[in-house]
Amino acid sequence: MFTTGEELEYCTDYLYYGDTYSTPCEWGEFIDDFSIGDLNHLNTGCDGGGYNVNNYTYMSVELARGVNHTWNAEVQNGNDYFAIWFDTNNDGTFDETECLYTAQEELPVNCSGNITIPAETSLGEHRLRLRMVGNLGIPIEPWQACHEFQYGEAHDYTVIVTEISNAPDCADTPFPANNAVDQYLNIDLTWSANDASVYDVYFGTDELLYQGEFETTEFSPETLEPNTNYQWQIIPKNNAGQPDDCEVWNFTTGTEDNVVNIEHGIKIYPNPADKFLNIETDEKIDIIKITNSIGQQIIEKQCNNNFIKINTETLKSGIYFIKIKTGNKIFTKKIILIDN
């Protein structure tokens, strides 16, 4: 059970209100699975209707301070927003500086990310809060740990903060996947790793060249050459050291046409798309509409963000048109969806 030697009064009641006909998580707006470190909390369903925080602080996980930790979650409906808070100073509140993660886009059903327990955190027990919100349309703000939403669910857990004692393992789950082919020429490389504070990045063609030390699990090389094989390696590090003999990954780029489309400050990728379509803009997006080849509207989304990811898995393959409204400007672009 969560305890810090004194009673702390966290906001736990009426964080969601539902509607006249259903509870806040009755229609699938709930966190079904969550795992981090050795904690694996699975198949929780819509526990208690979702009005109040589900208090799972009797479940604990040891996490070292000052290093990255990978989390995985299943948010039942998908296309919802998700955020994580951590009570760094054990004062019984989650202020905006204690928001360790908030999704800037709607997440798929199975999602993952990284959080870092701040290096200055005291050792011992601290409280962790998860929140997912459905039908929001915009990201959860860092100050909204106690905000009342209509649909969704919240979980609280106990984290036992420890000192890092072991060097991290090698990174895994690279993107692009090892030996992937036909990759974009302006691709971002990503990976996952636990218990690391920084990463040495090596990248090149005939030989690996040191690119520097990075704090995030992402590296953006300059625009690449078409039809070229590239190799890259990630060395996670922390105060206890680094692993030996980490794998070198490879991928091959596609043709000169295989570039993320950038037009009028708008990037739409991938195009053709199978599972997801990403839209990035210099200005905030107001509305996105997608119509099929005969003019029927298939998707409409209200936005207030510079980035949105649209799930296209349920759409048939074919030609579609996307209309993007930003301020007083409207842009239309043809997109192609293929079987996934």
Give the SS3 label for residue 145: coil
pTM of the predicted structure, to 2 decimals: 0.64
**Residue 272 CA, distance from chain mean position:** 23
**Residue 236 CA, distance from chain mean position:** 20
Query: Whose structure tokens read 């991928």?
Result: 251
Q: What are phi and psi of 256, to 5 degrees?
A: -60, -25
Q: Is the pLDDT of residue 1 over 50?
A: no
Domains in the chain with CATH codes? 31-162 (2.70.50.70), 172-253 (2.60.40.10), 261-337 (2.60.40.3080)
Percentage of the chain beyond pLDDT 90 is 45
* 56, 139, 188, 276, 335 from 268: Cα distances, Å: 41, 20, 15, 11, 9
Q: For residue 4, what pLDDT band results from cuts at 50, 70 and 90?
A: very low
Q: Is the pLDDT of residue 283 over 70?
A: yes
As a whole number of angstroms, the distance between CA 210 and CA 203 comes to: 7
pLDDT at 340: 58
pLDDT at 295: 67
Exposure of 219 in the CB half-sphere (CA atoms within 13 A): 23
Q: Is the pLDDT of residue 134 over 80?
A: yes
Strand partners, 124: 161
Q: Residue 226 in contact with residue 259, Cβ under 8 Å? A: no
Q: For residue 2, what pLDDT band results from cuts at 50, 70 and 90?
A: very low
pLDDT at 292: 76
Q: What are phi and psi of 89, to 5 degrees?
A: -100, 5
Q: Which of 273, 256, 268, 286 is nearest to 333 (CA)?
A: 268
Give the SS3 label for residue 221: coil
pLDDT at 44: 92
Q: For residue 260, what pLDDT band results from cuts at 50, 70 and 90?
A: low
pLDDT digits (tens, 9 = 90+) for 17-56: 988 888 998 888 899 999 999 999 999 999 888 899 999 9
Q: Which of 6, 130, 153, 122 is nearest to 57 (CA)?
A: 130
As a whole number of angstroms, the distance between CA 240 and CA 178 comes to: 28
Q: Is the pLDDT of residue 126 over 90?
A: yes
Handedness of CA 210, 118, 218, 246 (dihedral sign): positive
pLDDT digits (tens, 9 = 90+) for 51-78: 999 999 999 999 999 888 989 998 877 6
